[in-house]
Chain A
Amino acid sequence: MPITKDQRDEWRTEDNLHAGGPKMSEGAEPLPMRGKLVLRGAVRLVVPFVFLFGLYVQFHGDYGPGGGFQAGVIFATGFILFGLIFGSQLSESVFPERWAERLLALGVLLYAAVGVFSLVAPGAQTFNFLDYNALGKNGQHYGIVLVELGVGLAVAAAMVRLYYAFADLSELSAPVEAAIDDATPLANAASRNKDSRSAE
Chain B
Amino acid sequence: MTPLLLLLFVALAVTAVQIVRLDDLFSAAMLTGVFSLLSAGLFVLMDAVDVAFTEAAVGAGMTTILMLGALSVTSTRERQGKLQWRPFVVVLGVGAALVYATFDMPGFGDPAAPIHHHVGPEYLAGAEEHHIPNAVTMVLASYRGYDTLGETVVVFAAVVGVLLLLGERSLLMRLRRRATATAETNASRARDIA
Q: Which residues of A contact B (CB under 8 A)?
A: 25, 28, 57, 61-67, 69-70, 73-74, 76-77, 80, 84, 89, 97, 104-105, 107-108, 111-112, 115, 129-130, 132, 140-141, 143-144, 147-148, 150-151, 154-155, 158-159, 161-172, 174, 176, 179-180, 182-184, 186-187, 189-191, 193-194, 197
Contact = CB atoms under 8 A, between A and B. Distances in A.
Contacts of B190: 186, 189-190, 193
B57 A187 contact: no
Contacts of B158: 158
Contacts of A193: 189-190, 193-194
Contact of B148 (A28, A73, A77, A147): A147
Given A62-B137, A141-B132, 16 more contacts: A61-B137, A62-B138, A111-B148, A111-B152, A143-B141, A144-B141, A147-B141, A158-B158, A164-B170, A168-B166, A168-B169, A169-B173, A170-B69, A171-B173, A176-B175, A180-B179
Interface of B: 49-50, 52-54, 57-58, 61-62, 65-66, 69-70, 72-73, 130-134, 136-138, 140-142, 145-146, 148-149, 151-153, 155-156, 158-159, 162-163, 166, 169-170, 172-177, 179-180, 182-184, 186-187, 189-190, 193-194
Contact of A158 (B65, B148, B159, B172): B159
B174 A168 contact: yes
Contacts of A143: 141-142
A89 B58 CA distance: 23
A130 B66 CA distance: 33
Which secondary structure dominates where chain B touches chain A? helix
A187 to B, nearest CB: 5
A101 to B, nearest CB: 8
A166 B69 contact: yes
A176 B182 CA distance: 15
Contacts of B134: 61-65, 67
Contacts of A189: 186, 190
A180 to B, nearest CB: 5
Contacts of B166: 165-166, 168-169
B141 A170 contact: no
B151 to A, nearest CB: 8
A122 B136 CA distance: 29
17 contacts: A25-B184, A28-B180, A65-B134, A77-B65, A108-B152, A115-B149, A130-B149, A143-B141, A143-B142, A162-B159, A166-B66, A169-B72, A186-B190, A190-B187, A191-B186, A194-B189, A194-B193
